[in-house]
Amino acid sequence: MRKARVVVIGGGATGVGILRDLSMRGVDALLVEKCDLVNGASSRYHGLLHSGGRYAVKDQEAAKECIIENQILRKIGKSCVEPTGGMFVRLDIDDPEYETAWVKGCADSGIEAKQISLDEAFAMEPLLSRHAVSAYLVPDAAIDGFRMSWQNVESAKRYGGRCLTYREAVGVLTENGKVTGVTLRNNITGDEETVECEMLVNAAGGWAGKVAKLAGLDVGVQPDKGTLLAFNQRLTSHVVNRLHKSSDGDIFVPHGSITILGTSSMSIPDPEDTSTSREEVENLLAIGEKTFEHLRDCRMLRSFAGSRPLYIPPGGEVGRSASRGFAIVDHKNDGLDGMMTIVGGKFTTYRLMAEKIVDQICAKFKVTTPCRTAEEPLVPEVAPEKKQAARQYFPAYGTDLAATRLGPERFDKVVERLEKDPESRELVCECENVTLAEVEEMAAEFSSFQINDIRRRTRIGMGTCQGNFCALRSAGVFAKYGKTPGAKDTLGRMKEFLQGRWKGIRPVLVGRTLRETEMTRALYELSFHVNGGEA
């Protein structure tokens, strides 16, 4: 029987941050996640590392937290953060009084907001609408949620932390009003096991209410769905925000070679609902084209959605009116000792959230080791001389991309594969410059149960062709290295991978996207009898 002093339920940003913090303080901790890491809100968002400017008017506490954590994450997670900078732009249809309040709010929150001329703004962002009337620069950035989360786990492992994916909590064990363990179901095999623990941390995000119910408890969590659009080119150099009261479709975030437009806000009953509709797509386009007037001329790659876990106290507001702050609930006050829930917040503040709850856990355990997560980098950087030596094996720009994705240990292993086997230098994914050696390395990982698990680590299928060419290639690699009973079903795994891509492509089937999909259909339906069907 497995044992851990603390079991953390939920492999989103907050959960992995808690695992890392506990492990660094010497507390034996195990994280369990019902799917792969960051399959919920921590990857289904716009990838914005907030400066806090978004909250400077209505929620200055959140704004102050964001700017502090922004600076910390830039330091400890350099390979996960692209320091694009941000630009807030007011259009002639936006309220000038809000601009005045925003400037004051930024100053009060400690956020540097530098006004620039319109000529400077148009030089920096040539596609920006000429209906802009003012612009400010802020320290926003783009952040890779997949990479940040896995690097937190890798850091935790160096201190003894453990992580199990595809393990779903299905029962909470108690005795005399105290938690004694948790029952887990292996979602690959269906087997169940019990893990003994002294403390259970519910960090399940939008699913926190469901986890609490396993222990007979109620937690006020309202899943709030946000839909986003991905475009096949980099429309902006900066993160561009509309300078008006927060609303739908007013943030553009550049990520690598693509741009993400988001987001909407819709209260939903079930966090599993990640569906998107043509109506939502049209709504985002209609709003977004006010900032970038030629937006509809750009090819959309896909739409996707995730659920924010908004904490709703009794009588609290929902939707955009709800606070983006976070809450920690000690269920000892509800009659169950040894269980705590953390909910709310945002990706930018995940490390702070983890620190606050781990402070409380350590106080209970009389552990006095201070938090060091703000000082120590998640992973060491790959040495420049190693990258230089490896450039002969990677495609152009591929070396730096692989180094940031892999970290030093895995980078060395991949380079060793590339040296020994020249065929492993072939590209599986041209869009993201992912070599066969890198996919092989990830496919051999103990935690890779599906092709999508490899996708989240390498970004195969997430580029501009959306899996047109890498789906078949990655299925072949997975058949060779995969550990699940169905790994050898190459066509089945390929269809599963393509179906995941199709779910996001279907709502944006117009213009260039429709033509691209016809090419995909020709490749896979005619050659392999694999079709899209319903998502």
- pLDDT of 535: 38
d(CA 403, CA 420): 19
d(CA 13, CA 355): 13
pLDDT in tens, 378-414: 999 999 999 999 999 998 889 999 999 999 999 999 9
Same structural domain for residues 10 and 32? yes
Same structural domain for residues 103 and 170? no
d(CA 308, CA 252): 18
pLDDT in tens, 7-43: 999 999 999 999 999 999 999 999 999 999 988 888 8
Same structural domain for residues 232 and 284? yes
- pLDDT of 336: 98
Model pTM greater than 0.85?
A: yes
Residue 427: pLDDT band with limits 50, 70, 90 = very high
Domain of 334: which CATH number? Answer: 3.50.50.60
Beta bridge partners of residue 7, listed in sequence order: 30, 200
- pLDDT of 159: 98
Q: Is residue 73 part of a domain?
A: no
- pLDDT of 531: 64
Same structural domain for residues 94 and 17? no
Q: Is residue 533 part of a domain?
A: no
For a pLDDT cut of 70, what percent of the chain falls above it?
97
Same structural domain for residues 213 and 228? no
Same structural domain for residues 156 and 126? no
Cβ–Cβ < 8 Å for 467, 428: no
Same structural domain for residues 482 and 344? no
pLDDT of 452 above 60: yes
Identify the top-confidence range among 277-281, 448-452, 488-492. 277-281
Total residues found in the chain within this entry: 535
pLDDT in tens, 346-367: 999 999 999 999 999 999 999 9
pLDDT in tens, 292-302: 999 999 999 99
Same structural domain for residues 302 and 395? no
Same structural domain for residues 228 and 207? no
Q: Is residue 318 part of a domain?
A: no
**CA 298 to chain centroid:** 24
* Span of 280-294, 334-348, 419-433, 461-475 with lowest mean pLDDT: 461-475
Cβ–Cβ < 8 Å for 481, 442: no
Residue 534: pLDDT band with limits 50, 70, 90 = very low
∠ Cα 162 167 173 (to 5°): 90
Residue 517: pLDDT band with limits 50, 70, 90 = confident
Beta bridge partners of residue 252, listed in sequence order: 240, 261
**CA 77 to chain centroid:** 14
d(CA 72, CA 351): 9
d(CA 199, CA 182): 10
| Number of independent structural domains in the chain | 3
d(CA 464, CA 505): 12
Same structural domain for residues 521 and 444? yes
Domain of 246: which CATH number? Answer: 3.30.9.10
Average pLDDT in the chain: 92
Q: Is 246 exposed, middle or buried (0-12, 13-18, 19+ CB in 10 A)?
A: middle
- pLDDT of 525: 79
Return the exposure string of 279-299: e unless at least 16 CB atoms fall within 10 Å of the residue's CB, then b: ebbeebbebbbbbbeebeebb
Residue 482: give the domain boundaries.
384-528
Q: Which residues contact 158 (CB under 8 A, 6 or more apart)?
A: none
- pLDDT of 325: 75
Q: Is residue 192 part of a domain?
A: yes
pLDDT in tens, 176-221: 999 999 999 999 999 999 999 999 999 999 999 999 999 999 998 8
Tell me which of 398 and 112 has the higher pLDDT.
112
Same structural domain for residues 402 and 474? yes
Q: Which of 447, 357, 350 is nearest to 37 (CA)?
A: 447
Same structural domain for residues 468 and 521? yes
Tell me which of 532 and 226 has the higher pLDDT.
226
For a pLDDT cut of 90, what percent of the chain falls above it?
75
